[in-house]
Amino acid sequence: MAKTDIITRFLIWRLRHLSTKNFVLILSGLIGILAGLAAVILKTAVHAIQKFLTGDFNEAYANFFYIIYPLIGIILAFLIGTYILKDQGGHGIPDLLYNISKKSSLIAKVKMYSRVITSAITVGFGGSVGLEAPIVVTGSAIGSNFGSLMHLNAKKRTLLIGCGAAGAISAIFGAPIGAVIFAIEVILLEVSVGSFIPLLIASVTGSITSMILLGEDVMFTFNLSDSFLAAHMPYYFLLAIFTGIISLYFSRVVLKTESLLGMMEDPWMKVLYGGAFLGLIVFFFPPIYGEGYETLNALIDGDPQRLLANSPFFGEIDNPYFIILFLMLIIFIKPIASAITIGAGGSGGIFAPSLFVGGITGFVFAYTANIFGLPIALPIAHFTLVAMCGVMSGVQHAPLSAIFLIAEITGGYELFLPLMFVSAISFVTTTYFDKDSLYVKQLKDTGRYLTESKDEEVLDNINIRKVMEKDLLPIAPDAKLGDLCKLVQLSKRNIFPVVNDNGELAGIITLDDIRDIMFDEAKQQEMKIQQLMHSPPDVIYPEETMQKVMDKFEKSGAWNLPVVEDGVYLGFISKSRIFNAYRKRLIRQNLE
């Protein structure tokens, strides 16, 4: 029996015995398991590669291997992604958001496994990026393709994409609540109350899959021991401002670095120069190698000296002021290293780097304050964890995700108040200067527009060519008023486009323009159309977004505007026609 026949029979059985609502619940659990399995495979592969490459390091030569490993990883990821999988690396989440907004939540099948392979190689060989974005793309692709296979509509596919993302994040971090909120806050444009249940199921099944296969292998091995003190709140306020500023720096440096790499037209130049430069960075600053979670664990444990142990230059230095300087340099260099890894051809995301930079920021803040002898000693572990939340909130514009993710990672809600406080202020500080998150800015920098609301999404899905009206009767510029009067008798419209022999729009004439003279026989014979025509208030181009079209209607005050392409007249668009199309699309979406 053919595969299509099996699927068809199953779908017929499903329609008879299962409602769409219950079917989506079952699919969400299955997608959560598969996303969790993909996360386990990715984590295991990265650890295996890193152990193979660094397990038997000769300390005398270790850092020299750090120079070449990232370059080899980027070359391999680029070769495999470009020539075998046909899916190049990159951030992943911006493309995911674009697919949801502009491509009816359809994601290529290859993304169900391609990012697992390329990101495992990139990070395993020391690429300075995280695994979270690739696994979110993988889980989301699984959700999208299951939705397509089961012939679900775009709205349900979008929900299953969120389920895949929630299952993946939950499996990576062991944070099911944070994963659900991340899916809602970052991936999905809007969520109804009924959508929470599939997201919860996917998140739980993803987390359980990871727990069964990996046990208690979590990112951070820290349990809170010190209690939260309200007296620390003024310092948390300063930390929040600090993390907001660092978030701005992080986002802008990532974009600028990728922009500079993008100026190289030859992809192999990017790979070789980027990989070589990344190797040099890691050579001088070994903590930048890979994801960096071991570095964060060392800081949470209050042992920064561990970070200098692998350095060929600074390993013997035991000076608190030098440690502060060393960590400050890492804060400034890590975004560059992450952007180089991705821009040069590697695969990964900035999720982990933002946590990494945030953790070091919090440690430096508290460590420096304690060295200079503040009246109250600041708990370094608390400030390290809370700053991770602050920078993640600022970079990704996901304050709730950051709060719950760090709260769950720490194994309790002892730090819930400072997490909420720092996340909110860091977010406000960042959005004061940058309205868009790093993901949205990356889309806009590549010329891809992303809708900001459901109304805009509905509007933007209206095709200009489909709502364009072509029943308006054109007239030539050298025609007489009498010729126009004959058209008035034939036309049901009160606007007439003036079009030359080349089909170009020369102007427009309305019935109001000729009402006072149209019955004057002398003028009918004497006056030419070019004497009466005038320019339209504005023109519309077929490639424009519908949001931009509505802005033109708003600014011009017009109800009808011509559509032109390379100067050639195509038709007219009326505001009422757009409203009609909008209303029909909205009704159809609500019925779905």
Per-residue pLDDT tens over the stretch 276-314:
999 999 888 888 988 888 888 888 887 888 777 766 676
- 278: phi then psi, degrees, rounded to nearest 5: -60, -40
pLDDT at 402 over 90: yes
**Contacts of 63 by beta carbon, 8 Å cutoff, 6+ apart:** 283, 286, 310, 311, 312
Cβ density class 408-425: b for 16+ within 10 Å, e for less:
bbbeeebbeebbbbbbbb
Which residue, among 36, 351, 28, has the nearest Cα to 167 in the 3D structure? 36
pLDDT of residue 5: 74
Calpha distance 472→511 (Å, rounded): 12
**Composition of the chain by helix, strand, coil, percent to 5:** 65, 5, 25
Q: Average pLDDT for residues 131-135, to the nearest whole number?
A: 90
pLDDT of residue 553: 86
In terms of phi and psi (left: phi > 0; alpha: psi -120 to 50; beta: otherwise), the region of 503 is left
Encoded tokens for 525: 């014979």
pLDDT of residue 337: 94
Strand, coil or helix: what is 569? Answer: strand
pTM for the model: 0.79
Higher pLDDT, 448 or 14: 14
Calpha distance 590→581 (Å, rounded): 14
Calpha distance 172→170 (Å, rounded): 6
Does the CA dihedral 258-263-264-267 come out positive or negative? positive
Where is average pLDDT lowest: 13-27, 108-122, 381-395? 13-27
Angle at 133 between CA 272 and CA 28, to 5 degrees: 145
pLDDT at 15 over 80: no
pLDDT of residue 546: 80
Neighbours of 213 (CB within 10 A): 16
Q: Which residues pair with 130 in a beta bridge?
A: 349
pLDDT of residue 307: 79
pLDDT of residue 257: 92
**Single-letter amino acid code for the residue at 335:** P
Where is average pLDDT lowest: 100-104, 278-282, 391-395, 499-503? 100-104
pLDDT of residue 3: 64
pLDDT of residue 296: 85
pLDDT at 428 over 80: yes
Q: What is the CA radius of gyration of the chain?
A: 29
Burial class (CB in 10 A: 0-12, 13-18, 19+), 290: buried
Percent over 70 (pLDDT), the chain: 89
Confidence class for position 518, pLDDT limits 50, 70, 90? confident
pLDDT of residue 230: 87
Calpha distance 67→126 (Å, rounded): 10
Q: Average pLDDT for residues 229-255, to the nearest whole number?
A: 94
Rounded to 10 degrees, the C-alpha dihedral 523/525/529/533 comes to 10
pLDDT at 511 over 80: yes
pLDDT of residue 164: 96
pLDDT of residue 163: 96
pLDDT of residue 179: 93
Calpha distance 66→53 (Å, rounded): 10
Q: Where are the alpha helices (DSSP H) in 215-350?
A: 233-262, 267-284, 293-300, 305-308, 320-343
Bridge-based pairing of strands 560-565 and 505-510 is unpaired
Confidence class for position 523, pLDDT limits 50, 70, 90? confident
Confidence class for position 199, pLDDT limits 50, 70, 90? very high
Calpha distance 275→125 (Å, rounded): 11
Where is average pLDDT lowest: 234-248, 249-263, 421-435, 533-547? 533-547
Residue pair 285/330 in contact by the 8 Å Cβ criterion: yes
pLDDT of residue 206: 95
pLDDT of residue 196: 87
Which residue, among 169, 171, 170, 159, has the nearest Cα to 197 in the 3D structure? 159
Calpha distance 234→527 (Å, rounded): 79
Mean of pLDDT over the chain: 86
Calpha distance 369→386 (Å, rounded): 16
Model pLDDT for residues 141-195, shown as the tens digit of each residue: 999 999 999 888 888 899 999 999 999 999 988 889 999 999 998 888 666 777 7
Confidence class for position 577, pLDDT limits 50, 70, 90? confident
**Residue with the two structure tokens 């608390």:** 382
pLDDT at 20 over 70: yes
Residue pair 300/359 in contact by the 8 Å Cβ criterion: yes
Q: Average pLDDT for residues 94-114, to the nearest whole number?
A: 86
pLDDT at 359 over 90: yes
pLDDT at 8 over 90: no
Question: Which CA distances in Å does 334 have to 49, 57, 340?
Answer: 22, 24, 10
pLDDT at 269 over 80: yes
DSSP letters spanning 518-567? TT-HHHHHH-BHHHH-B--S--B-TTS-HHHHHHHHHHH--SEEEEEETT
Encoded tokens for 442: 């990356």
Q: For every residue of 375-414, which 3-state class applies, written as one string?
A: CCCCCHHHHHHHHHHHHHHHHHCCHHHHHHHHHHHCCCCC
**Contacts of 225 by beta carbon, 8 Å cutoff, 6+ apart:** none
Strand, coil or helix: what is 507? Answer: strand
Does the CA dihedral 82-85-86-87 come out positive or negative? negative
Angle at 411 between CA 405 and CA 415, to 5 degrees: 70
Which residue, among 40, 35, 38, has the nearest Cα to 206 in the 3D structure? 35
Higher pLDDT, 80 or 376: 80
Which residue, among 301, 315, 470, has the nearest Cα to 385 in the 3D structure? 301
pLDDT at 390 over 90: yes
Confidence class for position 455, pLDDT limits 50, 70, 90? low
Angle at 367 between CA 366 and CA 371, to 5 degrees: 115
Burial class (CB in 10 A: 0-12, 13-18, 19+), 536: buried
Calpha distance 516→17 (Å, rounded): 70
